[in-house]
Amino acid sequence: MSSLFTKIRQGEIPGHKIWDDGRCFAILTIEPIREGHLLVIPYEEVDHWVDMNDDTTAHVFQVSRLLSETMAELFPCEKVGMMIAGLEVRHTHIHLVPIQAIADLNFALAKPREDALQAETAVKIRQRLIEKGQSDHVPSA
């Protein structure tokens, strides 16, 4: 059975897609800790990130770096924090969150955000990626 994330990638469930290069994709999380909080997810449905092959791991982290750089340009933050928890959905995913302090990396701060606001955030990130020459990997809304 496909994971929740695969269903979003395939369009079976709605989601705000930010990136898709055929190997991994990124979406805004439905309960962000802060604006811009997104998930980078490999196509391959691997439960634990340590079980990804080396090539997939390298690729997912390279994309995470590019997306983090883009997020830092758009959202006021000290850094873009990264977390891999993997308990809530059994499909490896990396959380990228604009943060001011380590305390910002706390799932207790996550809360649903109005869909219209999420759509605006997604457009903002996609547009910046296009400006950076990444249009081949930016899905349409």
**Active-site annotation holder among 91, 93, 95, 137:** 93
What is the per-residue pLDDT for 135? 95
Range of 125's domain?
4-137
For position 80, which CATH number holds? 3.30.428.10
- What pTM was estimated for this model as a whole? 0.95
Q: How far is CA 35 from CA 43, 47, 79, in A?
A: 24, 26, 13
Residues 18, 20, 22: CA angle, nearest 5 degrees? 170
What is the per-residue pLDDT for 140? 83
**Cβ neighbours of 112 (radius 10 Å):** 10
Decide if 137 is catalytic: no
DSSP labels for 97-114? Answer: EEESSGGG--GGG-----
What is the per-residue pLDDT for 28? 97
Identify whether the C-beta of residue 86 lies closer than 8 Å to the C-beta of residue 92. yes
- pLDDT, averaged per 10 consecutive residues of the chain (141 residues), comes to 87 95 96 97 93 96 98 97 87 95 94 96 97 94 70
Query: Based on the structure, what is the number of domains in the chain?
Result: 1
How would you write 41-61 as a 3-class SS string?
Answer: EECCCCCCHHHCCHHHHHHHH
